[in-house]
Amino acid sequence: MFDRLEDLLIRMEEILSELQEPDVASDQARFRKLMKEQNDLSPIVEAYKEYKTCKQNIEDSLQMLEEESDEEMRELAKEELNDSKTRVEELEKELKILLLPKDPNDDKNVVVEIRAGAGGDEAALFAAEIYRMYLHYAENRRWKVELVECEEIGIGGMKNVTFMINGNGAYSVMKYESGVHRVQRVPETESGGRIHTSTITVAVIPEAEEVDVQIDEKDIRIDVMRASGNGGQCVNTTDSAVRLTHYPTGIVIYSQTEKSQLQNKDKAFALLRAKLYDMECQKQHDAEAEARKSQIGTGDRSEKIRTYNFPQGRVTDHRIGLTLYKLDKIMNGDIQEIIDACIAADQSAKLANMNE
């Protein structure tokens, strides 16, 4: 591990040196690549530098204890020695986590699809509530949300909704939300007061750039039509809605949330690229299924990951055995504690695999 850390320290010095070269600023592609590498390495390098400082402090403190006769100075040396030893242990754990292989998609924006499952109208109502939960969470993190497509029902529910989240590291956080979310509560339409169980599915897909996925124009059919449903002045008056059909996979994308046909077309293609990229990622994941079993949040999307129990005001994440009694806050977007616990469990599982 420490040989690798020394190599990364040298690489950071090389990057800083390259960034000082006068011709780098004029080469934007090279400049962006260097800046990204610097940002990725900075947390590791800073932690390793602190680790080396603490190791030196331990040596200095031990030497002082051997040579110093003044009792007050010896006490200071002992205190410094204990503090440095404790910090070294903490930094060793931090560095192991920082050196874990990084998901190449972690820095990407995401496409989120929410679909009502078992439970009819109640499932559609819950889908709308989970959509609003993610909107609040994204707003708290100052991420930008763009609606792509939505199929609503008359009582305020959503059969399905697809939206994009643009924000630094969005996929690294949101990927832990993929799976089946279950709700237990008494529906408003239930006169007998019985608790019903309904489900929705959430799929979180990394956004794909054009370089990630090549789409042959011959494989696509593009249809334009008038948008339907609630909307602004352009709804039902112009052919602004766009439907893409991808022949090889049978994927159909419909986008009508923007006023212009061009904007809807761009959104539709972005969603298609993401879905095709996700299909390739899933194939790779399936090939590595055994290695993935111990990981949190990167498994089968048919897995039941979380239950929201309204009568008891609790939320339970079944993957990590976490139960929180703050349902109201969670439904209002306060899900960071759950995500942090999933990240910690995922890191622990990966470290355990490395040590086997």
Relative to beta strand 179-185, strand 304-309 is parallel
Q: Alpha-carbon distance 96 to 90, whole Å?
A: 10
**DSSP state letter for 140:** H
Residue pair 152/159 in contact by the 8 Å Cβ criterion? yes
Report the DSSP beta bridge partners of residue 198: 183
Residues sharing a CB contact under 8 Å with residue 277, sequence separation 6 or more, in sequence order: 205, 206, 208, 212, 213
pLDDT at 337: 94
Give domain limits for the chain. Answer: 2-98, 106-356
pLDDT at 356: 56
pLDDT at 189: 65
Total count of residues recorded for the chain? 356
pLDDT at 298: 46
Report in angstroms the alpha-carbon separations of 242 from 218, 247, 258: 17, 16, 10
**Which token pair is 42?**
């900075």
The DSSP line for 28-91 is: HHHHHHHHHHHHHHHHHHHHHHHHHHHHHHHHHHHHHHHH---HHHHHHHHHHHHHHHHHHHHH
Relative to beta strand 304-309, strand 314-317 is antiparallel
**DSSP state letter for 101:** P
Residue pair 251/275 in contact by the 8 Å Cβ criterion? yes
Residue pair 338/172 in contact by the 8 Å Cβ criterion? no
- Write the burial class of residue 327 (CB in 10 Å: 0-12 exposed, 13-18 middle, 19+ buried): middle
pLDDT at 291: 43
Cα 274-202-138 angle, rounded to 5 deg? 80
Give the CB-side neighbour count of residue 78, counting CA atoms within 13 A.
Answer: 7
Give pTM, 2 decimals. Answer: 0.73
**Which token pair is 112?**
């989120």
pLDDT at 341: 93
pLDDT at 321: 92
Which amino acid is residue 69, in one-letter code?
S
- Write the burial class of residue 63 (CB in 10 Å: 0-12 exposed, 13-18 middle, 19+ buried): exposed
Q: How many CB atoms lie within 10 A of CB 17?
A: 9
Residue pair 312/183 in contact by the 8 Å Cβ criterion? no
The domain 2-98 is classified under which CATH number: 3.30.1050, 1.20.58, 1.20.272, 1.25.40? 1.20.58
Report in angstroms the alpha-carbon separations of 285 from 106, 176, 261, 280, 299: 15, 15, 36, 9, 8
- Write the burial class of residue 265 (CB in 10 Å: 0-12 exposed, 13-18 middle, 19+ buried): buried
In whole angstroms, how large is the CA radius of gyration of the chain? 26
Listed residue (201, 52, 210) closest to 118, CA to CA: 201
pLDDT at 149: 84
**Which token pair is 2?**
């420490």
Question: Tens-digit pLDDT profile for the chain (356 aa)?
Answer: 778 888 888 888 888 888 888 888 788 888 888 888 888 888 888 998 999 999 999 998 898 888 777 888 888 888 889 999 999 998 988 888 888 878 788 888 999 999 998 888 889 999 999 999 999 999 999 999 988 888 888 788 899 999 999 998 899 999 999 999 999 998 876 666 788 899 999 999 888 876 667 788 888 888 887 776 554 433 445 677 888 888 888 888 888 877 778 888 888 888 888 888 888 777 766 655 544 444 455 445 567 899 999 999 999 999 999 999 999 999 999 999 999 999 989 888 888 776 65
The domain 106-356 is classified under which CATH number: 1.10.275.10, 3.30.450.20, 3.20.20.120, 3.30.70.1660? 3.30.70.1660
**DSSP state letter for 330:** H
Residue pair 208/273 in contact by the 8 Å Cβ criterion? yes
